[in-house]
Amino acid sequence: MLIQLSLRSRIFFAMIFLVLIASVLIAGVTVYQYKEQSIDYHEDRMDRKEEQIRQSIDLAIQKTTYPVTTENLGLIFKDEIYEIAVVQNMNFNIYGLDGSLIKSSRPKFENDSISLCLNPEVLNQLELSPQKRYLEQNSAAGDNYQTSYTYIADRRFKPIGILQLPYFEDNTFNQMELREFLMRLGAVYLLMLIIAILLAFIISKYITRSLETISNVMERTDLTKRNQKIHIESPGEEIEKLIGAYNAMIDELERSAAKLARSEREQAWREMAKQVAHEIKNPLTPMRLSVQSFERKFDPQDPDAQKKVKEYSKTLIQQIDTMSSIASAFSNFAEMPAQLNETLNVVKIVKLALDIFNEDYIHFIAEKEEIIAKLDRTQLIRVVTNLVKNAIQAVPEVASPRVLVSVAMQDDQVKISVADNGIGISEENRDKIFEPKFTTKTSGMGLGLGMVKNIVETYQGEIKVTSQPGKGTVFCVLFPTVTT
């Protein structure tokens, strides 16, 4: 799911996630630290209390007048044990070396809450301990407590008894402190989380702003047009490298486009030269044959010599006219129409263009008597005459030929349609009819529709064709009423 998010969202959620993880880890470390600190505190306190009680016991043994023996421990600490317990604020018990209870600082509970005899395992562990001290972990009523066992020695450091010191761990204060600290820490982290959300939003937006700018520019990149370079103030190092790479690519693309355009122009002119050479060779061959035949057969003494000269001249003139027509056609195709933008009545100009045709099956209709547009008169006539010529050439074999020319308004455009009921255009040829040199006729050079398309596109217009083989063809030209 995270992979499907945008880069900005991933940065935002990553920053929030890091803050949450950090808060959980710090809270966990805090709880662990409090527990470790509580353990160290109780161990240190138990050691101090045990040492203080041992010093008080040693002092009582030094001051007593009774013989310092195991049997006299009850007499030595008959009253001293209560004073020591009060001063140290901790109860303790004294056992004999055999594990039997001798004296307790809690006399009221001697028979029910204090063991009257130590476990043999305790005696063994105490005997085997190098420090002559044994620590036992116990629990009572759900609370844990520790009990330490050490020897009580006489003035000659000979063991005469066992000191039992129960130590109950009171963690109420530490737990209360921990709860208060966690509550304060939670409030701080809640504030930090809010600040982190705001910062994550701002930072993620700042980081991705440059990428969005680059993305928008790259989306508008068009291989057929001049593309704009990217300019961003104070970009990061990585973004700057990306921008530099894109701008370098745009420069290389423009150079490649220029080379390609130049190569295409050169190729087009080469193809045009081949076509011109081919078309000129066609009339030159009969001209050559005619000259050779005239030179071989001409007899000045022939009474029909003048007639033969006229026929020969007529043949040459026809071929010359064909070559002149070829030159004019290529010249007109190569010449791009100039946008004179005359204000004219399109209906009137179309009628004028149709006057040169004598075919009675050509019909004209107009939506209005006057449709005004800014176009070039000559170029408009060339468009209409070429489309009508194509329509006439498409209906020679039709029993009832019909060509309909119409002028109408479509939104803010002038619509000129030329429809015929001729042979139509096959599906495979429909995409080729506007290509120079393409023709399905036995005569002509296939430049008429290409020239028409050039004129229409120069005026930011559009030309469409619909056709059904055997039923007819409709050419529709749309010109804007006001050209820019």
Of the ranges 145-149, 209-213, 328-332, 418-422, which is most confident?
418-422
Residue 75 lies in a domain: no
**Based on the domain organization, do 353 and 328 belong to the same domain?**
no
Residue 80 lies in a domain: no
Residue 140 lies in a domain: yes
CB 436 within 8 A of CB 447: yes
Residue 199 lies in a domain: yes
List the CATH number of the domain containing 142.
3.30.450.20
Residue 84 lies in a domain: no
Structure tokens at 446: 């296939």
Question: Which residue would you say has higher pLDDT here, 448 or 359?
Answer: 359
> 184, 219, 254 — which closes off a domain?
219
Residue 144 lies in a domain: yes
Confidence of residue 477 (pLDDT cuts 50, 70, 90): very high
**Based on the domain organization, do 131 and 187 belong to the same domain?**
no
> 315, 334, 353 — which closes off a domain?
334
**Based on the domain organization, do 359 and 445 belong to the same domain?**
yes
Confidence of residue 308 (pLDDT cuts 50, 70, 90): confident
Residue 268 lies in a domain: yes
For residue range 66-115, list pLDDT tens digits in order: 888 888 888 888 888 888 888 888 889 999 988 888 888 886 544 444 56
CB atoms within 10 A of CB 330: 19
What global pTM score does this model have? 0.38
**Based on the domain organization, do 324 and 306 belong to the same domain?**
yes
**Based on the domain organization, do 248 and 197 belong to the same domain?**
no
What is the per-residue pLDDT for 347?
A: 92
For residue range 138-195, list pLDDT tens digits in order: 776 666 778 899 999 888 889 999 998 888 776 676 678 778 888 888 888 888 888 8
Residue found under tokens 């045709």: 357
Residue 125 lies in a domain: yes
List the CATH number of the domain containing 348.
3.30.565.10
**Based on the domain organization, do 188 and 56 belong to the same domain?**
yes
**Based on the domain organization, do 206 and 242 belong to the same domain?**
no
Q: Which domain holds residue 144?
A: 92-169
> 334, 361, 393 — which closes off a domain?
334
Q: Is the pLDDT of residue 277 over 70?
A: no
Number of domains in the chain: 4
